[in-house]
Structure 1
Amino acid sequence: MASELIDTHLHLIDQSVLSYPWLSSVEALNRDFLYEEYAQQALRVGITRALHMEVDVAASDIESETTNVAKLSAREGNLIAGAISSCRPEDEAFSAFLERQLANPLVKGFRRVLHVMPDELSAQPLFRENLKKLGGTGLSFDLCVLPKQIEKAITLADLAPDVQFILDHCGVPDIKGGAFKPWQAGITEIAKRANVTAKISGVVAYADAQTWNVETLAPYVNHVIASFGFDRLVWGSDWPVCTLGGGLATWVAATHALVAGCSEDEKAKLFSQNAKRIWKL
């Protein structure tokens, strides 16, 4: 087992501090998921550091979310090594926002959730021009898209070849629905872009919560590994979304089972080395 395990996809939910408009429609996640609960589980399964991933808070709370993460990261002995901030590249105010984030060493990258937004959003000229501004900053951009939207993600990667893109959750395959073929082709194509790294994260949430096992996940994870190679992979929990498919310890155990046949060097790249390189951890 690799000595380090960096979780590149931790969500924390604190409804006493921030507003999450989408939570009202997801009953299973509509409660607080605080750092203490995560840390207890994470330390038990060997997670050594974590990047906080934005949780699609209300637009007015975006910078408050980063401030809240900063307070947690300042505690002695905590696991949080950085934050992936939400952003709105479609807004005129993005340039000023970007300047503020560049001055904050905690911020390691950005994400604008696209899988729940109209496809036209990422096609807007302003969105695309602003995304290009990440080139040369060292800040990454996470792509959270459905398989049917993978062409939109590929277009963004091609438009900004010097931006480091991270494809979340193995490209969000419909494992429960068994929709392998269309997803497979999209992964093969986007993996041809050298500026895209894939995140093996949270796929247990897309499988049947009652019946999935390691063999259920293997074709999807194996195809991502084969397509991207171990130099362009990172690992993430997607906690607490992973609780929909069994929880943190279950997903960590499944991951270790899925890569059991890989070399120690390959595991080290997936579990920590690539994350340290990409986000300068």
Structure 2
Amino acid sequence: MIVDTHLHVIDRSALDYPWLAGVEPLNRDWTYETYARDARRAGISTTLHMEVDVAEPLIEAETGYVGTLANRPDSLIKGAIASCRPEEESFAAYLERQQANELVKGFRRVLHVMPDELSDQPLFRENLKRLGGTRFTFDLCVLPRQLERAMELVDLAPDVTFILDHCGVPDIAADERQPWQERVTELAKRPNVCAKISGIVAYADPESWIAETLRPWAEHTIQAFGWDRVVWGSDWPVCTLGGGLLAWVAATHALLEDVSEDERTKLLSENAKRIWQL
């Protein structure tokens, strides 16, 4: 069975997502029910909900909304990676409130669509250090050109577990392997970073990719981090831009055809269970 570490639910009747206006193919509701139907068909047994960059005043409302989904009978959702704003003075109080919510397993501040200088701010970096000694992870969603900045953040907080989203968001369609490859290798030298093999179908040519198209990118990430520091994620519904959940799961199994059962299990479930205590 698979642990999906990267589900987005979009419900425009409950929350506001300003960024959706600029991504027309995703600008609609993507319900938990729709996801759960295909997830169960694909062998997904457990899911972490990933924040969806809602309007800032609704960040805690999003976590509450995810809690209602998690509380449904037989829900796949067993945890949430919540949004946060480390660049703000209010972060410390926000962090304290989330410590009381067992659903919250970690945080993410979307960086790949923000100015590079955001993570350079002293307050951002000081607040990131506050995660040390807590149960919380921090997801890094960065572009290849931002990986050096990601390394700086990781080095500032060596007792925080960081998760690199989407293999570092490589441009697979353009086959741009550098500087992505070198920087992923360098980032992986930090023992407090894990990598998420997630949603990379969205970065390939949607009309022509096959499993072998994805292999160099997934395999390099796995080789750099090792089998004990990789997890799997769907990035649903973003993965629908490249064929959808079932296509991505099928491609994943094809990519893992020649690995050992122990290695497959680590990537698909056991590492995630250990990292987030699922």
**TM-score normalized by the length of structure 2:** 0.99
Give the one of 250, 265, 274 matched to 1:277: 274
Q: Which residue of 2 aligns with 1:199?
A: 196
Q: RMSD between aligned alpha carbons?
A: 0.5
Runs ≥4 in structure 1, deviation > 4 angstroms?
none
Q: Deviations over 1:17-49 (max 9, x none)?
A: 100000000000000001000000100000001
Match of 1:56 among 38, 53, 56: 53
User: Of 106, 115, 125, which residue of structure 2 is paired with 1:109?
Assistant: 106
In structure 2, the gaps of 5 or more residues are: none
- Correspondence list, 1:5-154, <5 A: 5-154=2-151
Count of paired positions: 278
Q: Deviations over 1:188-247 (max 9, x none)?
A: 000000000000000000000001111111110110011000000000000000000000
Of 179, 183, 186, 1:182 maps to: 179
Of the three residues 215, 218, 232, the one matched with 1:218 is 215
Query: Are residue 238 (structure 1) and residue 235 (structure 2) matched?
Result: yes
Taking every aligned residue pair, what percent have the same amino acid on both sides?
Answer: 67
Deviations 1:83-120 (A, max 9, x none): 00000000000000000000000000000000000011
Amino acid across the alignment from 1:59: E
Query: Once the 2 structures are TM-superposed, how far is the Cα of residue 181 of structure 1 from its aligned partner?
Result: 2.3
> Which residue of structure 2 lines up, in the alignment, with residue 264 of structure 1?
261
Tell me, in whole angstroms, the C-alpha distance in 2 between the residues paired with 1:195 and 1:182: 22
In structure 1, how many angstroms separate the alpha carbons of the residues matched to 2:231 and 2:103? Answer: 19
CA distance in 1, matches of 2:79, 2:212: 33
Amino acid at match of 2:213: T
In structure 2, distance between residues paired with 1:180 and 1:119: 21
The alignment partner of 2:183 has SS state of helix
Partner SS for 2:196 = strand
Structure 1 letter corresponding to 2:50: M
- Amino acid in the other structure paired with 2:177: F
TM-score (norm 1): 0.98
Deviation at 1:77, TM superposition (A): 0.5
